[in-house]
A and B are shown apart, each in its own frame.
Chain A
Amino acid sequence: MMASSYNAKEEDGHHSGASSHGAAGAVKSKKPDNTAFKQQRLPAWQPILTAGTVLPAFFVIGLIFIPIGIGLFVSSNNIKEFQIDYTGVDISSPCYSCAKNFSWNSTTPCVCYVPFTLNQSFESNVFMYYGLSNFYQNHRRYVKSRDDSQLNGDRSALTNPSKECEPYRTSDGLPIAPCGAIANSLFNDTLELYHIDSNGTSNPIPLAKKGIAWWTDKHVKFRNPGGNNNLSVAFHGTNKPVNWRNPVYELDPSDPENNGFINEDFIVWMRTAALPTFRKLYRIIQKKPNTTPTLPSGKYLLTITYNYPVLSFDGRKRMILSTISWMGGKNPFLGIAYITVGSICFFLGVVLLIIHHKYDTRNNSADIPN
């Protein structure tokens, strides 16, 4: 009984089960509807990815990538960078005694002086970074150990920090503000830079501490509880993190816009780094208004208040001076990668063109008997 109440209309979806209405169609047809979708007849575009269409793409990619790569490489080579390690591992390094005699509860800060020479002068804005090695800020338990709602100024989170901050959640019965292992390990070395001119006088170089953290971090994500004034009152009832010398409202008492949770050094530290060898922006040396170089070549002195112990885990500390271009800091990788990929694509294009040509002529001659 092959009665088919079959509707020949294109777009109709339902054939009503005419079986229920008596007469011929007693069995509902199992045939799918005759729609374009169900009969797989939707209008479609079928791209033809043959050698003829793909080969020009290879050449185009090669021709675009190689200039980009050259631009990146040249740009990266023009960036000036200077690094100096000041951990104090060797007995001959200036900070050796500070590193060796470090103790947690020393009241007098240990200062060491590291002289260095810049061979080239640095133009335009110069960015001063501190770099750490073998410091795993990307460890999972470490990265989770913070309370963002406390850092956003939430009063209830201030007095009751998140469980993720354990074991840096409370100290002496009081909640810690800011809680967590990331805040506890805040980098607290102080670096100062002096230029030693030809007379032998050392001139301090002005270091700007604004503009080092992400704007959204400083103005949205991190907020002081109860506004920026009277921070010691706002933080009453909390304790400082275990490894800090001063509480959080004394990070920069001279500037209420940079004190408490919105201290830019603190915010920069709280943005956990991706790799165990990393650098973080410390200060900016603004360019001079006339055409004098920001840092002329010559002798300099780096003064370090050595507060941060890294030798216990075989870490290293260094100071980096760098200019910045449109692509960021000095990194030849991207330029080399683009040149390589562009050249490979171009070379593949040439090879495929040759193969395609040979195969095509061979096949054409084979088709002739057909």
Chain B
Amino acid sequence: MYNICFTSMPILAYSLLEQHICIEVLLDNATLYREIAKNAVLRWGTFLYWTVLGVFHGLLFFFGVRFLFSNPALQDNGQVFGNWSYGTIVFTVLVFTVTLKLALDTRHWTWINHFVIWGSLAFYVFFSFFWGGIIWPFLRQQRLYFVFANMLSSVSAWLVIILLILLSLLPEILLVVFRKPRGPHARQKKMVQSSVGGHQSPRSSARPLLMRTFSDESNTVI
């Protein structure tokens, strides 16, 4: 369910449609292709970064909700949440974080990207309401009946979801701001020389890339 329905379409659209560097720049500087030749992207550094990030996210989600549940009376009528509400909060944070991380990584937003990313999130919410809204006739277990809707009725649950999503995307945003262009000044000089023609008039209806200091061309790797 998670892999097929909630998170498969965004990554598919990303892999097909993403353009970190616009077409004109690539045509002028074909040597940029060397950066990805021979699986150069699959390096230990990248792998370790993603692994550590995954571990960080996992710990954050689980222990964030665990500390919230040290007092499980999270509703304003004094009633208590159970383990299915715990899992639903963790899972909601997970789905939103994964999709929003991909949204942060996407540099080339076509209508298809918008559709699959926001559509996946909307589908998750819709599906959770739908699944938890009915007593399924032929199932012996009705574990998630009304769990999602009840979770959304608690202010504390909303606040912890927003907090955890933001906290887990914080390293991502920091990296975007801190990232320096790769390969010391070589590409910078190339960018400067070709900038007169190439940058300022992309054919796609995109705004021109402005600054070269904290530029995001370096997003090709990581």
CB within 8 Å: A-B pair count: 199
Q: Indicate if A46 sits at the interface (CB-CB under 8 A).
A: yes
A279 and B79 contact, Cβ closer than 8 Å, known pairs A44-B109, A47-B107, A54-B176: no
Q: Indicate if B12 sits at the interface (CB-CB under 8 A).
A: no
Docked Cα-Cα span, A122 to B142, in Å, equals: 38
Closest Cβ–Cβ distance, residue B6 to chain A (whole Å) = 23
Interface residues of A in 239-286 (CB under 8 A from B): 268, 271-275, 277-281, 284
Among A44, A217, A275, A329, which residue has the most Cβ atoms of chain B within 10 A? Answer: A44
Q: Indicate if B40 sits at the interface (CB-CB under 8 A).
A: no
B-side contacts of A322, CB under 8 Å: 73, 78
Inter-subunit contact B73/A327 (CB<8 Å): no
B154: nearest chain-A partner, CB-CB: A328
Inter-subunit contact A360/B77 (CB<8 Å): no
- Neighbour of A279 across the interface among B80, B159, B166, B170, CB < 8 A: B80
A52 and B211 contact, Cβ closer than 8 Å, known pairs A272-B82, A334-B68, A334-B160: yes
Q: Indicate if B201 sits at the interface (CB-CB under 8 A).
A: no
Q: Indicate if A49 sits at the interface (CB-CB under 8 A).
A: yes
Q: Write the B40-84 contact mask toward A (1 if CB under 8 angstroms, else 0).
A: 000000000000000000000000101111111111111111111
Inter-subunit contact A47/B109 (CB<8 Å): yes
Docked Cα-Cα span, A52 to B112, in Å, equals: 27
Segment from A107-115, A143-151, A295-303 that makes contact with B:
A143-151
Docked Cα-Cα span, A10 to B214, in Å, equals: 36
A334 and B156 contact, Cβ closer than 8 Å, known pairs A149-B140, A328-B71: yes
Inter-subunit contact A275/B69 (CB<8 Å): yes
Among B84, B173, B177, B203, which residue has the most Cβ atoms of chain A within 10 A? Answer: B177
> Chain A binding site: helix, strand, loop or mixed by DSSP?
mixed
Q: Indicate if B213 sits at the interface (CB-CB under 8 A).
A: yes
A328 and B76 contact, Cβ closer than 8 Å, known pairs A42-B112, A44-B109: yes
Which range contains the number of A residues in contact with the other chain? 35 or more
Docked Cα-Cα span, A125 to B77, in Å, equals: 9
Docked Cα-Cα span, A114 to B214, in Å, equals: 67
Inter-subunit contact A44/B216 (CB<8 Å): no
Inter-subunit contact B69/A328 (CB<8 Å): no
User: Interface residue count for B (Cβ, 8 Å)?
Assistant: 68
Docked Cα-Cα span, A86 to B204, in Å, equals: 72
Q: Indicate if B96 sits at the interface (CB-CB under 8 A).
A: no
A143 and B213 contact, Cβ closer than 8 Å, known pairs A40-B17, A46-B109, A327-B156: no
A61 and B166 contact, Cβ closer than 8 Å, known pairs A48-B216, A333-B67: yes
- Neighbour of A341 across the interface among B79, B80, B163, CB < 8 A: B163
Q: Indicate if B205 sits at the interface (CB-CB under 8 A).
A: yes
B189: nearest chain-A partner, CB-CB: A370
Inter-subunit contact A40/B23 (CB<8 Å): yes
> Chain B binding site: helix, strand, loop or mixed by DSSP?
loop
Inter-subunit contact A54/B177 (CB<8 Å): yes
B215: nearest chain-A partner, CB-CB: A50
Q: Indicate if B222 sits at the interface (CB-CB under 8 A).
A: no
Inter-subunit contact B81/A46 (CB<8 Å): no
A-side contacts of B214, CB under 8 Å: 50-51, 356
Closest Cβ–Cβ distance, residue A181 to chain B (whole Å) = 14
A152 and B216 contact, Cβ closer than 8 Å, known pairs A50-B211, A274-B72, A278-B72: no
Among B68, B143, B155, B156, which residue has the most Cβ atoms of chain A within 10 A? Answer: B156
A-side contacts of B163, CB under 8 Å: 65, 334, 337-338, 341
B140: nearest chain-A partner, CB-CB: A162
Inter-subunit contact A329/B82 (CB<8 Å): no
B-side contacts of A273, CB under 8 Å: 72, 80, 82-83
Inter-subunit contact B76/A49 (CB<8 Å): no
Interface residues of A in 44-77 (CB under 8 A from B): 44-52, 54-55, 57, 61, 65, 68, 72
Q: Indicate if B129 sits at the interface (CB-CB under 8 A).
A: no
Q: Indicate if A129 sits at the interface (CB-CB under 8 A).
A: yes
Docked Cα-Cα span, A348 to B19, in Å, equals: 30
A-side contacts of B111, CB under 8 Å: 42-43
Docked Cα-Cα span, A152 to B83, in Å, equals: 20
Q: Write the A24-52 contact mask toward B (1 if CB under 8 angstroms, else 0).
A: 00000000000000001111111111111
A46 and B80 contact, Cβ closer than 8 Å, known pairs A164-B140, A274-B85: no
A68: nearest chain-B partner, CB-CB: B159
Inter-subunit contact B192/A46 (CB<8 Å): no
A-side contacts of B67, CB under 8 Å: 333, 337
Docked Cα-Cα span, A328 to B81, in Å, equals: 11
Inter-subunit contact B78/A284 (CB<8 Å): yes
Q: Which 7 pairs from chain A and chain B are nearest by CB?
A: A329-B73, A274-B86, A127-B78, A328-B74, A274-B83, A271-B82, A42-B110
Q: Which residues of A contact B (CB under 8 A)?
A: 40-52, 54-55, 57, 61, 65, 68, 72, 125, 127, 129, 137-138, 143-144, 146-149, 152, 157, 162, 164, 211-214, 216-217, 220-221, 268, 271-275, 277-281, 284, 322, 324-331, 333-334, 337-338, 341, 345, 348, 352, 356, 359-360, 363, 367, 370
**Between-chain CB contacts (< 8 Å), 10 pairs:** A42-B111, A44-B109, A50-B216, A54-B173, A147-B140, A278-B80, A281-B73, A325-B76, A328-B73, A341-B163
